[in-house]
Structure 1
Amino acid sequence: LKNVRLETGFDYDADEVIHTKTDLFTVEIEDGKILKISPNSPNAKAIDAKGFLMLPPFRDMHIHLDKTYYGLPWQAHLKKNRSVKDMIAYEQEIIPKLLKTSTARTEKLIALLQSYGTNFARSHVNIDPTSGLNSLKNLQAAIENKKKGFNAELVAFPQHGIYYTKSEALMKEAAKMDIDFIGGLDPTTIDGGIEKHMDFVVQLALDHGKGIDIHLHEAGESGIKTIEYLIDKVNENPALKGKTYVSHAFALRYLDKNKTEEMAEKLGSAKIGIASTIPLSGTPMPLPALYKHGVEVLAGNDCIVDHWSTFGSGNILQKANLAAQIYGYRTEFDLSRILKLATGNILPLDDKGNQQWPKAGDKANFVLIDASCSAEAVSRISSVKSLINNGNIVF
Structure 2
Amino acid sequence: MKDSNITRKDFLRNSVLGVAGLTVGSSFLNTATASAITETNSEIKTASSKNYTLKNVRLETGFEYEEVEAVRTKTELFCIEISDGKIKAISANKPNATAIDAKGFLMLPAFRDMHIHLDKTFYDDWHAIKKRTGGVKGMIALEQQILPEMLKTSTQKAEKLIALLQSHGTSFARSHVNIEPTSKLQSLKNLQKALENKKNTFGAELVAFPQHGVFYTDSVPYLKEAAKMDIDFIGGLDPFSIDGAIEKTIDFTVQLALDNNKGIDIHLHESGESGVKTIDYLIAKVNENSALKGKTFLSHCFALGKLDKTKQEEMAEKLSNAQIGIVSTVPFGSLVMPIPTLMKYGVNVMTGNDSIIDHWNTFGTGSVLQKANLAAQLYGQATEFGLSRMLKLATAGSIPLDDKGIQQWPKTGDKADLVFLDATCSAEAVSRMSPVRMLIHNGNIV
TM range (shorter): over 0.9
Where 1:341 maps in the other structure, the secondary structure is helix
Is the Cα–Cα contact under 8 Å of residues 330 and 374 in structure 2 kept in the other structure? yes
Is the Cα–Cα contact under 8 Å of residues 3 and 26 in structure 1 kept in the other structure? yes
Residue of structure 1 equivalent to 2:189: 137
Q: 2:103 aligns with which of 33, 47, 50?
A: 50
Where 1:337 maps in the other structure, the secondary structure is helix
Residue of structure 2 equivalent to 1:60: 113
- The alpha carbon displacement at 1:94 in A equals 0.5
Please list every run of 5 or more consecutive structure 1 residues that lacks an aligned counterpart in the other structure. Answer: none
Alignment partners' CA distance in 2, 1:262 and 1:31 = 45
RMSD of aligned residue pairs (Cα, Å): 0.8
Where 2:217 maps in the other structure, the secondary structure is coil
- The alpha carbon displacement at 1:283 in A equals 2.5
Paired residue total: 393
- The alpha carbon displacement at 1:122 in A equals 0.4
Residue of structure 2 equivalent to 1:121: 173
Alignment partners' CA distance in 2, 1:95 and 1:87 = 11
Alpha-carbon displacement from aligned partner over 1:233-260 (angstroms, at most 9, x marks no partner): 0001111011000000000001111111
Alpha-carbon displacement from aligned partner over 1:293-324 (angstroms, at most 9, x marks no partner): 11100101000010000110000000000000
Residue of structure 1 equivalent to 2:136: 84
Is the Cα–Cα contact under 8 Å of residues 81 and 90 in structure 1 kept in the other structure? no
- The alpha carbon displacement at 1:82 in A equals 5.2
Matches within 5 A, 1:50-199: 50-72=103-125, 74-81=126-133, 83-199=135-251
1:30 aligns with 2:83: yes
Matches within 5 A, 1:1-395: 1-72=54-125, 74-81=126-133, 83-394=135-446
With the length of structure 1 as denominator, give the TM-score of the two structures. Answer: 0.98
Alpha-carbon displacement from aligned partner over 1:134-168 (angstroms, at most 9, x marks no partner): 00000111011001110000000000001111100
**Percent of residue pairs identical:** 70
Where 1:2 maps in the other structure, the secondary structure is strand
Alignment partners' CA distance in 1, 2:445 and 2:56 = 17
- The alpha carbon displacement at 1:81 in A equals 4.2
With the length of structure 2 as denominator, give the TM-score of the two structures. Answer: 0.87
Q: Which amino acid aligns with 1:66?
A: D
Please list every run of 5 or more consecutive structure 2 residues that lacks an aligned counterpart in the other structure. Answer: 1-53
- The alpha carbon displacement at 1:181 in A equals 0.3
- The alpha carbon displacement at 1:216 in A equals 0.3
- The alpha carbon displacement at 1:389 in A equals 0.7
Q: Which amino acid aligns with 2:328?
A: S
Is the Cα–Cα contact under 8 Å of residues 26 and 38 in structure 1 kept in the other structure? yes
Where 2:55 maps in the other structure, the secondary structure is coil
Alignment partners' CA distance in 1, 2:132 and 2:432 = 37
Alignment partners' CA distance in 2, 1:51 and 1:329 = 26
Alignment partners' CA distance in 2, 1:81 and 1:159 = 17
Alignment partners' CA distance in 2, 1:37 and 1:64 = 36
Is the Cα–Cα contact under 8 Å of residues 268 and 293 in structure 1 kept in the other structure? yes
- The alpha carbon displacement at 1:220 in A equals 0.3
Which shifted more, 37-46 or 79-88? 79-88
Q: Which amino acid aligns with 1:193?
A: A
Alignment partners' CA distance in 2, 1:81 and 1:67 = 20
Is the Cα–Cα contact under 8 Å of residues 216 and 246 in structure 1 kept in the other structure? yes
Where 1:123 maps in the other structure, the secondary structure is strand
